[in-house]
Amino acid sequence: MTHVAFAPAAAPVSIPAIPVRELLPWVIFAGLILLLAIYFVGAEEGATSIVKGMYVHEFVHDGRHLLGFPCH
Ligand SMILES: [Zn+2]
């Protein structure tokens, strides 16, 4: 026979604080990725285009309208 006991005796887990010095490079990296995403969604068209053709524009077209960037 097995003995099953309910024992919620687990101590609460404390999450250690992350120092800003370790967090800052990731924040900068995420900011650059975000700026790149905003560029591709908002400005990758016409004179500001760096990718030839309309592939990027068409790929992010719904996001462009969703975020309110002028389009057509
Ligand atoms: Zn459009």
37-62 pLDDT, tens digit per residue, is 998 888 887 777 888 888 888 888 99
User: 30 CA to middle of ligand 1, Å?
Assistant: 27
4-39 pLDDT, tens digit per residue, is 777 777 888 898 898 989 999 999 999 999 999 998
User: What DSSP state is assigned to residue 43?
Assistant: T
In degrees and rounded to multiples of 5, residue 5 shows phi and psi of: -125, 135
User: 64 CA to middle of ligand 1, Å?
Assistant: 7
21 to 7, 15, 34, 37, 43: CA distances (angstroms): 40, 17, 21, 25, 33
User: 50 CA to middle of ligand 1, Å?
Assistant: 18
Q: pTM of the entire structure? A: 0.62
In this predicted structure, what is the pLDDT of residue 22? 92
